[in-house]
Each structure stands twice: as C-alpha cells, then as structure tokens.
C-alpha cells in the first residue's frame, strides 16, 4: 500500500527535476542564480541622499551583485537606524547624528561605509525679515531632533553668536515643515534637500533661502549591527560593491540618474536637476567622516544631548573597514586604518 503510493510520487519528482534542469539549460544560468540571491532588508531614507541605494535597486544592480534587497522607506536616517536596532531591518541608510547617539548608548553598531554628503540649508519666511544669520534672534525655527538638522541648527546659531535660548526651537519631522511654514507657525526651517527645494517651489516669494554656505555638511552612510555583520560578511561586501557599481553608473549616466532618483522619491525631474550637484556621491571611509562624527559627538557632550555617563566614542571600534577594504581598498583612506 505504501509502496504503490510512493512510486508515483517519486516518478513525478524525478520528472520535475529533469524538467527544471531542462528549463535551466534552455534559459541560461539566471534561473539558478535567482535561488542563490542573498536576502536582506534595507531601511532607507527616501530622498536623494540615498541616491546610490535607490539606483542600485532601480537598475537591478543589487541583483547583479547576488542580492535580493527588500526596501522599507522612511523620512529620516534616525528612523532607519532605529528600525535596524529594533530588528525590523538589516541595513540602514543614516546620517551621523543617529550614529553618534547609538555609539554613545553602546549599541553594537558597525559603520561600514559613507556614501554621500551634502550641506543642510535654512529657508525663512519673507515676512520674518531674516536677511542674515544674526536676524534669527527671537525667531521660531523648525528642526528635526536626533538628526543632522539638530546639529546644523546648533552650529548655525553658534556661528551667528546666538544660543538656543535666543530662539524658539520647534521639533518637526521634515514633511511637517512646509505646512508649518505656510501656516505661519514657524519663521524658518533647518533641513536637507529636497525639503528645501519643495518649500521654495510651493511658497514662492513668500520664502527665501538664507545664505549658510559651509555651516554644516551632513554625511549619509551605511550602518548595520555588529552581530549581523559578523554573521553575514559576504552579504555586506556585496551590498557595498553594489553601491560602488551604482556610483560608477550614475557618473556615466547623470541625466538618467536624475530621472531615476526623481521618480523614486516623488520629485519632478525639473525640481531635482538644479540641486543635483549638491549631492556628492562616493562610497568611502575617510578622515572627513571621522572628523564629522567626532564633531557631532563633541556637540552632544557639550549640549548634554547624550545618554547618562556617555563619553567620546572610540570610532575605531564603531567604523569597520574590512568590508570596504575587501571590495575596493583604495576607498579606505583613514589615517588610522
């Protein structure tokens, strides 16, 4: 009884195996490769700052590097890193602010690559009468706590000879800033692109961009948990390799790259084009990254915005160079590497 049941099943299984082999030979190796892709979950800030990851996903570059990446989109790098720390994703795109907060809280994070940097900016309501940084005194400024926006705001005020007590700081998510500025509940916003461009386009002559050139550059980076890196070194290396391939593709196809990123983040191409040069895309680990991390950490210690008992992190234990070194050692230029 059991034998007569097994034989047909075995025969069917054998025929199915032969069929799969025949199909695989007919259509080439891609069928087999699909089953070999390494799977990972990416928590991504859906903005041009994540351009390399966006292009890698949109152009199939992850797959070409043997990866199956599932993307969850967020509006800040803090949300991305929080999601990874909480176990909801494996890889985060994030700025330095969440990195320093996590390092000071002794979270076992691994900073494996920088991929972009750009200046943060300030947009002011025209009726607020803000012509210079010093004119921010007494104004209501929208910022996003726990992100580069907060550090930029503190740096901006200090450069103007002001302190947080000289202004009213309003903690807002980036997507809340434009409505607040339009409603007149704040006088200025400190944030990153494309929110600056969106505000200028939506409000026209009712707003203006304040000249804060050189005040603060935010980095955007790739961070994973150290246990995840230890368990999946090949996957992380493939992810970094895909970002490098995306960088090369973007430099060779700048017009198409603008279109791909604009479509992904919900911007019109004509709106992204004028600010495209603001985004400096390069996968690397260099002294500039470390200096920004240290500057940010010093700000946390000075301002008290840190966990109890926190000290300056030892970034040689937070920044992990091995994955990028294995992929492209010339991109690791740290003086202490």
Architecture per CATH, domain 37-115+218-331, reads as 3-Layer(aba) Sandwich (3.40)
- Segments making up each domain of the chain, as ranges: 2-31, 37-115+218-331, 121-210
Q: Which of 125, 119, 150 shows the shortest CA–CA distance to 139?
A: 125
DSSP for residue 69: E
What is the 3-state secondary structure of 134-151? HHHCCCEEEECCCCHHHH
One pLDDT digit (tens) per residue for the chain, 337 residues: 443 333 343 343 444 444 444 444 444 444 435 568 999 999 999 999 999 999 999 999 999 999 999 999 998 899 999 999 999 999 999 999 899 999 999 999 999 999 999 989 999 999 999 999 999 999 999 999 878 898 899 999 999 999 999 999 999 999 999 999 999 999 999 998 889 989 999 999 999 999 998 888 889 999 999 999 999 999 999 999 999 999 999 999 999 999 999 999 998 999 999 999 999 999 999 999 998 999 889 989 988 889 899 999 999 999 999 999 999 999 999 998 5
Q: How many residues in total does the chain contain?
A: 337
Q: Are β-strands 140-143 and 188-191 bridged in parallel, bridged antiparallel, or unpaired?
A: parallel
CATH 3.40.190.10 holds for 121-210: yes
Tell me phi and psi for residue 191, to 5 degrees. -160, -170
In the chain, count H helices and then E strands. 15, 11
Check for a shared fold between 37-115+218-331 and 121-210: yes
Work out the number of other CB atoms within 10 angstroms of the CB of residue 302.
11
For residues 258 and 20, what is the distance between their CA atoms, to the nearest angstrom?
Answer: 41
């Amino acid at each position: 009884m059991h034998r007569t049941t097994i034989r047909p099943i075995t025969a069917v299984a054998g025929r199915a195996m032969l069929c799969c082999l025949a199909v695989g030979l007919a259509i080439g190796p891609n069928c087999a490769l699909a089953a070999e892709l390494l799977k990972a979950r990416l928590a991504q800030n859906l903005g041009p700052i994540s351009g390399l990851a966006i292009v890698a996903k949109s152009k199939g570059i992850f797959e070409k590097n043997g990866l199956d990446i599932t993307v969850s989109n967020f509006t800040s790098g803090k949300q991305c890193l929080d999601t990874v720390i909480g176990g909801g994703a494996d890889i985060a795109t994030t700025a330095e602010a969440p990195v320093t907060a996590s390092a000071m809280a002794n979270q076992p994070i691994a900073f494996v690559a920088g991929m972009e940097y750009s200046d943060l900016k300030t947009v002011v309501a025209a009726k607020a009468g803000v012509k210079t940084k010093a004119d921010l005194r007494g104004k209501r400024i929208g910022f996003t706590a726990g992100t580069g926006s907060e550090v930029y705001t503190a740096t901006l005020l200090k450069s103007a000879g002001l302190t947080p007590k000289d202004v009213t700081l309003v903690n807002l998510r980036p997507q809340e800033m434009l409505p607040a500025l339009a409603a007149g509940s704040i006088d200025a916003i400190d944030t990153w692109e494309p929110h600056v461009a969106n505000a200028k386009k939506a409000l026209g002559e009712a707003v203006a961009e304040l000249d804060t050139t050189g005040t603060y550059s935010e980095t955007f980076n790739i961070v994973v948990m150290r246990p995840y890196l230890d368990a999946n070194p090949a996957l992380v290396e493939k992810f970094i390799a895909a970002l490098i391939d995306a960088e090369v593709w973007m430099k060779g196809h700048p017009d198409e790259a603008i279109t791909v990123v604009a479509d992904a983040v919900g911007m019109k191409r004509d709106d992204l084009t004028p600010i495209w040069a603001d985004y400096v895309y390069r996968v690397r680990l260099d002294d500039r990254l470390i200096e920004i991390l240290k500057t940010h950490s010093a700000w946390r210690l000075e301002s008290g915005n840190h966990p109890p008992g926190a000290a300056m992190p030892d970034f040689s234990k937070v920044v992990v160079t091995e994955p990028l070194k294995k992929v492209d050692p010339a991109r690791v230029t740290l003086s202490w590497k």
